[in-house]
């Protein structure tokens, strides 16, 4: 369904990116950056009518649009849904039409005494109003991890069973975890699921929540959204943690897990871990950790 430019302005949407093809890969070219806050966004294409756009896709971004678009970029390669979106964009742009990203930082509301972002509600409302052409409710699940040949699984044999299929939906902000997971390559998806299963074995009663802005983490992981597995209060606060999995994976800051100081094995080789200012630590090699966690944990 089309949307007019003046309606975009009334709804406080900003043109943040152009989607352009780089060979056979869609790329997001930044026009302006919004704050890294819970937001909604749409992919929209100009029609033949001046100042009118066809709404192709609506999404939500719990930790900012820039981060979510990076996840889309990974999903174009690693996720079934992402590959379908890539094919749709490739065909659409290849036919001579352009695609723009419009986004807005979502409103918040006081709910049960807590200020809550309405980004999920706004996403649903936008879908209901504009009926975007490409939207599908098809979030990845841990059970969807592809089964690799035995020779490829050999580097991460310690946890034979993947995480519960509902683990992402049960966590607060589970959609953020699902989006991160879906953008990972297959081997990293397996490691991510194994980490969840491993931490849950340490404390089967632990809850889950996505939390951002932690400080004093091992170098490079401050301020990154993390899936926290630990004791969650009735109000939703993460009180203690068994393990934190930063929702980041790139060349400089790879997929990892962060443990509390009390979990570090005595006498461990310091070359095996990176330690933050307050003692939280992570294994420098995730594959080595998954092969032999007892070498790291007390």
pLDDT score, position 174: 67
Whole-model pTM: value is 0.69
**For domain 2-130, which CATH number applies: 3.90.79.10, 3.40.1440.40, 3.40.30.10, 3.40.50.20?**
3.40.1440.40
Average pLDDT over residues 9-15: 97
* From-to residues of CATH 3.40.1440.40 in the chain: 2-130
Minimum mean pLDDT among 2-11, 43-52, 75-84, 86-95: which range? 75-84
Does pLDDT of 245 surpass 50?
yes
> What's the mean pLDDT in 54-73?
94
Would you state the pLDDT for residue 160? 35
- 71-111: pLDDT as tens digits: 999 999 988 888 989 999 999 999 999 999 999 999 999 88
Beta-strand runs (E) in the chain: 2-4, 14-22, 25-30, 39-46, 52-61, 99-105, 108-111, 114-117, 207-211, 226-232, 238-246, 273-275, 281-283
Mean pLDDT for the stretch of residues 246-264: 94
User: Model confidence over 28-41: pLDDT tens digits?
Assistant: 999 999 999 999 99
The Cβ-side half-sphere exposure at 85, using a 13 Å CA radius, reads: 30
Question: 145: closest CA among 182, 176, 171?
Answer: 182
Query: Which residues are paired to 111 by β-bridges?
Result: 114
């Amino acid at each position: 369904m089309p949307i007019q430019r003046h309606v975009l302005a009334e709804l406080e949407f900003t043109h943040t990116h152009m989607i352009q093809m780089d060979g056979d890969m869609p790329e997001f070219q930044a026009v302006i950056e919004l704050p890294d806050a819970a937001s909604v966004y749409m992919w929209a294409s100009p029609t033949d009518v001046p100042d009118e756009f066809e709404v192709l896709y609506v999404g939500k971004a719990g930790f900012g649009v820039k981060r979510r678009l990076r996840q889309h970029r990974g999903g174009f390669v690693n996720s079934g849904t992402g590959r379908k979106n890539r094919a749709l964009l490739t065909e659409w742009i290849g036919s001579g039409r352009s695609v723009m990203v419009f986004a807005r930082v979502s409103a918040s509301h006081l709910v049960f005494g807590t200020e809550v972002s309405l980004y999920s509600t706004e996403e649903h409302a936008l879908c209901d109003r504009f009926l975007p052409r490409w939207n599908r409710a098809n979030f990845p699940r841990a059970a969807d991890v592809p089964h690799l040949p035995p020779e490829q699984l050999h580097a991460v044999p310690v946890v034979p069973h993947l995480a519960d299929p509902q683990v992402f939906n049960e966590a607060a902000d589970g959609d953020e975890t699902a989006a991160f997971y879906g953008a990972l390559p297959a081997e990293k998806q397996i490691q991510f699921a194994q980490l969840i299963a491993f931490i849950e074995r340490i404390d089967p009663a632990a809850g889950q929540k996505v939390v951002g802005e932690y400080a004093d983490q091992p170098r490079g992981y401050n301020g990154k959204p993390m899936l926290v597995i630990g004791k969650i209060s009735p109000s939703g606060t993460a009180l203690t943690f068994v393990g934190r999995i930063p929702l980041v994976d790139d060349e400089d800051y790879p997929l990892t897990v962060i443990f509390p100081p009390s979990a570090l094995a005595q006498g461990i080789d310091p070359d095996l871990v990176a330690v933050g200012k307050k003692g939280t630590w992570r294994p420098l090699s995730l594959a080595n950790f998954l092969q032999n966690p007892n070498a790291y944990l007390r």
